[in-house]
Amino acid sequence: MGHALAQPIEFSSHRKNLFQGIALGLQRDRMPYAKFIPEAWPIIAPAKPLISNWHIDCIAEHLQALTDNDIGDLIINMPPREGKSIFVSTLWPAWLWTVTPWLNFIFVSYSARLAALHSINRRRVIESQWYADRWGSIVSLRPDQNSKVIYENTARGVMMATSSTGSATGFGGDILLFDDFLNPKMAESKIEREKYLEQFDLTFSTRLNDKKTGHRVIVEHRLHHDDLTAHVLKQSGWTHLKLPAVAEEKTRIVFPVTRRVVVRERGDILHEQRTGKVELARQRVTLGGRGFAAQLQQSPEVRDAIYFSRDKWKFYSLPPEEMAKDMDELIQSWDFTFKDLQTSDFVAGGVVGQKGANFYVFDLVHDQLAFTASKAAMTTMTAKWPEAHAKLVEDKANGSAIIDELHEKIGGILPVNPEGSKEARAASISPYQEAGNIFLPEGAAWVEDFIREHSEFPNGQNDDRVDMLSQAIRYFLDKFRRQPRITVL
């Protein structure tokens, strides 16, 4: 890499005005990125026709919005082999040079070979006759700086590709694009994951030429619950476009430019013309349930979890209020913590019913609540579900304070002293989930997060909903065991 490219470019006042004038002209006449994709596609994949689908338009609009500074940094999670690298890493930067040819890019992938492949495809588009006929007067590559992994155009725009563990020292970018940053073969190793994430934080976080105007884009399918997507989502300023292969709940997607709305019903397949039910079933077998959840569904779970399998939950379709009328018994179960800090645990409260050998969750409160708000949540739940006579509250720390405060105002509060570890309590109810005896309301907004927490237990960030459910079901099981046995002679 030539060191002539290492320093941010400084332009004279005259040249800045000239570039600003060019930019205004380009903005007026530019081809929308959504139109650029199908026209450029044959250059990259001449033997494979582009099969249009709404998610391609959605990706294009998110990248268009980022180009126009309407959104900040962007994460796109989508299944493999759905064109993520072509749409994001190959065609978008080539299009962006038709709008702002002086931009500097740094592209990062987990292997140097993959980074080089993407770089070659970008260059193939830029050097095509189709591209030259339209933007040749604006964008042409300099012959003295035109290699597989780094090239410069006559407007001083630069595209440089490197690997996740490679070096970008001395080079800055206006846009940093991370395409499959984490090596899939190393995703299960905590040491390797931390090495990659440290490289992201220490090396690439400082590579933006201007942190106010520069952008970072991450495109990947999920590999682990502690991967790069999870790492950066702990920060602010990221727009997250999550595109699972199969919708796990009813989802409303609003496009950022046209405001077009796509509603995915539960079970909707992302791109059925390319990957339908048969292909997805085959991938589920190949990847296993947890691999499928991560790479296809963008919902990674802890791989060594042995308590709650995602595919063992059952669902009921009647409204919860209607379904609850047929229960043998209905209770509330609460796990209280109210430090009211962003880092504190959540308050979790649920309404759970029993009918024969089955257990049903009807309602859920899950939020970071202070003491007063916690009392209000329980009071509201009691008014909404008067048939839930017993109210189980874990009798320690914050739960004890709630019991003292409300026991004369709300009847039926039962202090619970949990026995054994969280893991032991979860293990005692997991056979019922494995056997399909635990039912959740189909389509409820809270269900997906509820399932994810159980799937990640005991290594996830939260476990309060697990505590709430295990407390409720153990109450029913203990009550059954305490019933007197009648011997018929």
pLDDT band at 71 (very low <50, low <70, confident <90, very high): very high
pLDDT (0 to 100) of residue 290: 64
d(Cα 333, Cα 391) in Å, to the nearest integer? 6
- Cβ(112)–Cβ(106) under 8 Å? no
Tell me, what's the pLDDT at 9?
37
Domains of the chain: 3-264 (3.40.50.300), 310-482 (3.30.420.280)
Give the tens place of pLDDT for each residue, 204-253.
877 888 888 889 999 999 988 889 999 999 888 899 999 999 998 899 99
* pLDDT for residue 303 is more than 60: no
Q: What confidence category does residue 306 fall into, taking pLDDT thresholds of 50, 70 and 90?
A: low
**Residues 292-314: what's their mean pLDDT?**
79
Main-chain phi, psi angles of 83, to 5 degrees: 85, 15
Q: Residues 100-126: what's their mean pLDDT?
A: 94
In this prediction, residue 345 has a pLDDT band, given cuts at 50, 70 and 90, of low
Confidence of residue 327 (pLDDT cuts 50, 70, 90): very high
- Residue 170 pLDDT level (bands cut at 50, 70, 90): low
With tokens 């199908």, the residue in question is 38
Q: What share of the chain has pLDDT > 90, as a percent?
A: 55
Segment 54-66, tens digit of pLDDT = 999 999 999 999 9
Give yes or no for residue 3 having a pLDDT over 70. no
- pLDDT value, residue 231: 93
pLDDT recorded at residue 168? 65
pLDDT over 70 percentage in the chain = 87
Provide the mean pLDDT of the chain: 85
Mean pLDDT value of segment 391-404: 83
Q: What is the pLDDT of residue 236?
A: 82
Global model pTM greater than 0.75: no
